[in-house]
Structure 1
């Protein structure tokens, strides 16, 4: 991510969040700039015009990469942008020698839990959560407007 990408990435994140509203999911207000500021890494997908159309933000949780968010502008959705971003996150994690990637997501929304399941992620049993993941889960209580799940996948 370059500093000049921030306005477009905020737009992308907010547009992606609007898809939830279309599915009847009311998310709490969110400022994407907070995510962008605290992420360890933000990978950016660009459209043919060079403008950002997607992002993948990661942080370190319990010594592992944790996928905070993948967001794709709906105008660029269903074209493999999210899959490419996830592949890039996985490749980076593998190159750094990590054994897993974690994430939290809505369990049943098709572009959340089932999407990650189709890409090799599986529910992570609570006894396998580290203390930072437990704290994150508790901090995310406000977005449990639908059933949520912690998942883990292999880098690569």
Structure 2
């Protein structure tokens, strides 16, 4: 297995990042989930940080983050399905957590589909736990509302969190 190079996105990566995001979205369609159409460029333009995973000189994954309630919030984690199940998503997630810890933050949050194997259960295996709604800050509440207004809440979803300084609890398991 080739280890991905994880680095910050560069301007010239935009087309590749868009292609990876759109390719990753096909997994949802294959699972019978009809998501509202979106333009990955809009997401990239409004996030604070995008990490990319590069294999053999090609961008094959991305992790995009914003800040919500003084926490790092994982806006999107996507891997081209042709490169899935090789640890790329896990490597991106660990980079996000390491960067968050280096910034002195004590929480990484995300929203995800609760039951899709490569969503909620995947994050759970990597040390994330469900965040009770009573523990959400106002920014996370607003993020949830934005996703709901966009039509993303088409299946049970959850907000999850992890202490970024804690190493993941379980080894990466293929799904």
TM-score scaled to structure 1, two decimals? 0.98
Deviations 1:133-153 (A, max 9, x none): 111111111101111000001
Q: Residues 28-107 of structure 1: matches in 2 within 5 Å? A: 28-48=36-56, 50-107=57-114
What secondary structure is seen at the aligned counterpart in 2 of 1:54?
A: strand
Q: Residues 101-120 of structure 1: matches in 2 within 5 Å? A: 101-120=108-127
What secondary structure is seen at the aligned counterpart in 2 of 1:143?
A: coil
Number of equivalent positions: 155
Which has the larger share of helix?
1
What secondary structure is seen at the aligned counterpart in 2 of 1:58?
A: strand
1:19 to 27, 32, 39: 27
Q: Distance in 2 between matches of 1:86 and 1:34?
A: 21
What residue ranges of structure 1 are gaps of 5+ in the alignment?
Answer: none
What residue ranges of structure 2 are gaps of 5+ in the alignment?
Answer: 1-8, 166-175
Deviations 1:86-106 (A, max 9, x none): 000000011111101000000
Residue matched to 1:123: 130
4+ residue runs of structure 1 moved beyond 6 angstroms? none
What secondary structure is seen at the aligned counterpart in 2 of 1:111?
A: coil
